[in-house]
């Protein structure tokens, strides 16, 4: 049986099992949930993915497994970076460059998928493309619930191709860091595959031109946007960035750097033996 994934829908089935005192398993993944018991087996889905998404995923998977890669340390992956100076900041205009199909292009550029697979992925709408590549890192958390609805056990199933996805994250951050170093003081911050920077609109040798050259050399395509009313507010734990893109207000929260020693003590207290 299939149903739309909504918290209320899933909770209704959980509550029903509790009332009827029936043990069940609850499986949660990014876009799905499943409740399985002697009474029912129901799949909750955010939306039904078109067949072409699964086709794209299968093509990527078939290609990448031919190229073994080293295990990626997910603890060190970088999804954002910033060069704010710990103070509130405002600029009338800033610029943003987003690498187009960053993960798929990295897989193609680094020889992990064929040109045919890359072309197939690129014909998909953006959300489907993201889903197809994201399936590489598919993860399921399976929770075993007793008759009273208490969680008594759990296990995690991670896709064997997860490292290829994390490889894309790692390589993207490497390119972003290179872009940031090319930009120097013009660099403001990055968020996944997007870079935000300052530049003089009238200058001939603009930051944008430097980026275009770099990205062309590296076989990437990118989109440029002019953003207005850019404001950074320093919060206790993060930078609150607001700006307007095509007159629509956008908000991004960028975590502030952590105190190195607090990080080390946190990690120590998290891993020490208390027995």
Partner 1 sequence: MAKQKKKIERTSTKKTQSKKVIIKAKPSAKKSTPQSKPERIKDPKKVQAGKIRQAGAIRDKSGKFANPILVNEIKKTFLATKKIDVSKINADQTAKIDQLLKDAKIKPEQVKKFYDQNKKVFDDLQTFGKLKGTSKNSNQIEKAITDYKGKIFINNGKKVIEVSKSEAKLKLISFKSFLSNNINVVDFTLKPTLSIDGTLTINLPNEKKLLKDLKKYFGVTKTEELEEFTGEEISEALADILSEMYDGEEDLIIYAS
Edge-to-edge strands, sheet with 32-37: 2-4, 41-45, 32-37, 24-28, 139-145, 151-158
Report the nearest approach of partner 1 to the CB of residue 155 (Å): 9
In our burial notation (b when 16+ CB lie closer than 10 A, e otherwise), range 129-168 reads bebbbbbbbbeeebeebeeebeeeeeeeeeeebbbbbbbb
Q: How many residues bind partner 1 (CB under 8 A)?
A: 49
Question: Pick from 6, 21, 178, 209: which binds partner 1 (CB under 8 A)?
Answer: 6
Is position 178 an interface residue for partner 1 (rule: CB under 8 A)? no
Is position 258 an interface residue for partner 1 (rule: CB under 8 A)? yes
Q: Alpha carbon 257 to chain centroid distance? A: 19
Report the nearest approach of partner 1 to the CB of residue 258 (Å): 4
Question: Pick from 50, 147, 153, 178: which binds partner 1 (CB under 8 A)?
Answer: 153
Give CA separation, 187 vs 11, 176, 243, in Å.
45, 11, 16
Q: By rule CB under 8 A, what string of x and - marks binding of each residue 212-251 to partner 1? A: -----------------------xxxx---------xxxx
Is position 20 an interface residue for partner 1 (rule: CB under 8 A)? no
Report the nearest approach of partner 1 to the CB of residue 249 (Å): 6
The Cβ of residue 257 has, within 10 Å, a number of other Cβ atoms equal to 10
Question: Pick from 150, 216, 219, 228: which binds partner 1 (CB under 8 A)?
Answer: 150
Question: Pick from 24, 26, 60, 82: which binds partner 1 (CB under 8 A)?
Answer: 26
Question: Pick from 154, 200, 213, 231: which binds partner 1 (CB under 8 A)?
Answer: 154
Compute the half-sphere exposure of residue 158: CA atoms within 13 Å on the CB side of its CA.
Answer: 8
Nearer to partner 1, 237 or 247 (CB): 237
Token readout for 123 is: 């014909």
Is position 266 an interface residue for partner 1 (rule: CB under 8 A)? yes
Report the nearest approach of partner 1 to the CB of residue 158 (Å): 11
Q: By rule CB under 8 A, what string of x and - marks binding of each residue 106-145 to partner 1? A: -----------------------------------x-xx-
Contact residues: partner 1, CB under 8 A = 5-8, 11, 26, 28, 30-31, 33, 46, 74-75, 141, 143-144, 150-154, 235-238, 248-253, 255, 258-259, 261-275
């Amino acid at each position: 049986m299939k149903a739309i994934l909504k918290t209320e829908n899933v909770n209704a089935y959980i509550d029903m099992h509790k009332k009827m005192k029936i043990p069940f398993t609850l499986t949660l993944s990014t876009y799905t949930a499943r409740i399985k018991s002697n009474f029912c087996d129901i799949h909750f889905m955010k939306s039904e993915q078109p067949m072409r998404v699964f086709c794209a995923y299968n093509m990527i998977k078939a290609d990448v497994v031919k190229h073994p890669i080293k295990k990626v340390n997910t603890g060190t992956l970088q999804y954002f970076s910033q060069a704010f100076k710990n103070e509130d900041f405002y600029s009338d205009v800033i610029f943003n460059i987003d690498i187009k199909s960053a993960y798929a292009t990295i897989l193609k550029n680094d020889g992990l998928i064929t040109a045919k697979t890359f072309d197939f992925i690129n014909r998909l709408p953006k959300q489907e493309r993201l889903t197809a590549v994201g399936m590489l890192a598919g993860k399921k958390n399976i929770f075993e619930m007793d008759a009273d609805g208490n969680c008594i056990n759990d296990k995690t199933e991670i896709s064997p191709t997860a490292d290829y996805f994390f490889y894309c994250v790692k390589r993207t951050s490497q390119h972003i860091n290179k872009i940031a170093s090319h930009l120097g003081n013009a660099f403001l911050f990055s968020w996944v595959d997007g870079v935000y920077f300052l530049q003089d609109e009238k200058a001939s040798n603009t930051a944008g031109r430097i980026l275009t050259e770099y990205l062309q050399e590296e076989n990437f395509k990118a989109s440029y946007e002019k953003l207005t009313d850019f404001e950074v507010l320093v919060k206790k734990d993060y930078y609150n960035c607001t700006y307007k893109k095509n007159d629509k207000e956008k908000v991004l929260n960028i975590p502030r750097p952590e105190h190195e020693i607090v990080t080390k003590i946190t990690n120590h207290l998290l891993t020490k033996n208390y027995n």
